[in-house]
Amino acid sequence: MPRAVGSEAGNWGLAYWVGQRLRRGVDGLAEEAAFLQGRVRGATKAQRLSWLWRCGIAITLLAAEIAVLTISNSKAGNPLALVTSWLTLVLMPRPVPRLILVTGRLLVAIFTAASLASLISWAASEYSGLRPWSSVLTLVNVAVWLGMTVWALAGFRRQHPRLTISATSGTEVAASVPVDAERNVPRITFSSVGGGDLAKREIRLTAANRFAGGKPQVVRNGVLLYGPQGTGKNLLAAATAGEFGVNFYHMRCPELLSVGVGSTAGEIRRVFESAALHRPAVLFLDEIDAIGSRKQPQGIGTDAGGGGREYNAVTTQLMQSIDRYRSLDGLLIMAATNSLDGLEPTLIRDGRFDLKLRLDLPNQAEREAILTSMLKTGAHAATAIAEISRRTPGWSPARLRALIDRTILQAGGRPVTDEDILAALEESGGNDRPQVEVVNWDDVVLPGPVVSDIKAILRLLVLGTAEQLGVPAPTGLVLVGQPGTGKTMVARLIASQAKRSFYAITPSDVLSGAVGGSVRRLTDVFARAREHAPSILFFDEMDGLFPAVTGHGSQHDIQLVEQALIEISDLRPEHQVFLVGTTNDLSRIDPRILRGGRFSEKIEIGLPDEEGYRRLLEMNFGPTQLASELTTPKLVEMVRGLSPAEITAVVTAAKRFALARTPEHATALLPIEERDVEQAIARIR
């Protein structure tokens, strides 16, 4: 049976060909819509205003062209129409919005073809020798018109960098630098960033290799910034773009992650392609460890075909994209991470990241420079800035920025003074105090020498005092004494008076049954103390956490003590972490923990003196009535040798014995007699 042409089944035939073309057209429209939607979402307010301004100017020029041609009654072949159309296209602001660009080019194509047709007609009528060639000239005119129409419609096409193969490296590089489609140049420069002179000098050398123009003899690209959080990695990357006046393409790497297989790798390719389109630019990969962590092992017994394989593919795609675009003129690749050890070693090798800079916590001179750039000096005295920088050891630039922002908010719109900043500094830091009771000097009973020692230590814990007086603050303090002497209360007193974050750690808080669990918990506690500095770490019953290993000690105890030694040794003065521990017997603690530079200070909290016993009895008995024969000196002699905790227990028991003698319907407790106290002491002992 005969079949109609195009009705054949399979992958051929007229119907299939038309369907394929229609499908490609629909896919192209969908892709274009998604591209425009992404451009709108990712555009800044300045970019949107720039686009509206260019649209307005271009539409005004087109309207003016039409008005001129209408008023002059010019036809398509009139020279005035040709000149006006070309002049309008040349005067349009760059980059021209694509729809307006196509409209302007189509007008130019129409008026150029019409003018060329009029010229051919006039030449054929004036010169008889050209009449036999009129058909050929007409075909040439049609070809010119078709070519210019294609040129006009090409305005709809998105520009991509043309890539060629480099003869030296074998990687793909761009053959030409495209014109910037948008400008997104940060307003900050290196002068806006205080401190970090060495980092700025190294970055300037690398960036000059990418933005100097011409063909450099060597390719140096890839700047990896790493270090603690809040040290200004993002700010320094933005300042690099502002310093060289180039676009800043800030990409947050966690946003590139997708659940679809291959989607993340596609997003990485898109990011690098977009950065290449907006050159000259700095492509900043923030939190690069999200897509560039160490590869998962592959092989027998591993996740060879699941998430591990996709995970490795993402890291591999990132390395390939860096290799492909690092030789591109006008593109500087920068990245930041808080964890250098978590990155794939082959990702950060030389040839991908040629410059690796650690941004550490600033010293006092760098803090002064940072505060000066934040406050713009001017109304702020240099002495006040020096005082603030002296009292903020261990503060990151982000924390200094938070201090200035807090001061501005507290000022309520008026100009900020030096006194405002110092007042805000007094209220900042040390506010993370879980499970700590506020203890005042009146709440504790201590011998005079112990009070003097503790007050001297508290004085050194005031921010900046140790540096000003030239007396180093101790790293740790051990409170030694028999049970019940108030060692824990003294530790809480130090935390309350020092106005620091306080973390009380007992063996039950740290010890874990999981392998390595105790070591991990101890590490987390030290990390939290550094984050919320100034702080105090209180180790109650140290001998239970850091026992002296004699003979064949358990591997768990050895690991915990070794980790404690590492954590304490890593503490520096700028971290502002003070260690306090208690024990009943120093000989039961590992001696390495107690050496100088760790828990170097030891204060013995002994039994109260004469005045101490008087205060303890007055605090515990309070308004309770005592028998006439039970005088204060006699009570002191009866409780002498007892610890403060035992005295509290004796008073409570004596009141209970007096209660046993009190009638049931009585409204007041009978006076406490000597026998009540004697029975209480016997009961407690």
Q: What is the pLDDT of residues 463-500, one digit of tens each?
A: 777 777 878 888 889 998 888 888 888 888 887 788 78
Type and span of the H or E element at 412: none
Cα–chain-centroid distance for residue 420?
Answer: 27
Residue environment code for 81-109, b if the CB has 16+ CB neighbours within 10 A, otherwise e? bbebbeebbeebeeebbeebbbbbbbbbb
DSSP code of residue 214:
S
Alpha-carbon distance of 174 to 109, in angstroms, equals 31
Supply the pTM of this predicted model.
0.55
Identify whether the C-beta of residue 352 lies closer than 8 Å to the C-beta of residue 222.
Answer: yes
259 with 269: CB under 8 angstroms? no
Place of tokens 């939190």: 287
CB atoms within 10 A of CB 1: 2
Alpha-carbon span 210 to 355, nearest angstrom: 13
Gap between the Cα atoms of 358 and 351, Å rounded: 18
All structural domains of the chain, each given as residue ranges with its CATH number in brackets, are 43-156 (no CATH), 179-358 (3.40.50.300), 364-427 (1.10.8), 441-604 (3.40.50.300), 610-684 (1.10.8.60)
Q: Which pLDDT belongs to residue 225?
A: 94
Distance CA 640, CA 644 (A): 10
Query: Tens of pLDDT along 16-69?
Result: 677 776 776 676 666 666 656 656 655 667 777 888 888 888 888 888 888 887
- Residue 536: is its pLDDT beyond 90? no
Helices (H) and strands (E) in the chain, counts: 24, 12
How many angstroms separate the first and last alpha carbons of the chain?
117
pLDDT of 533 > 80? The answer is no
With cut-offs at 50, 70 and 90, classify the pLDDT of residue 179. very low
Compute the distance between CA of residue 21 and CA of residue 369 in angstroms, rounded to an integer: 63
Mean model confidence pLDDT for the chain: 79
Tokens 């020279």 correspond to 79
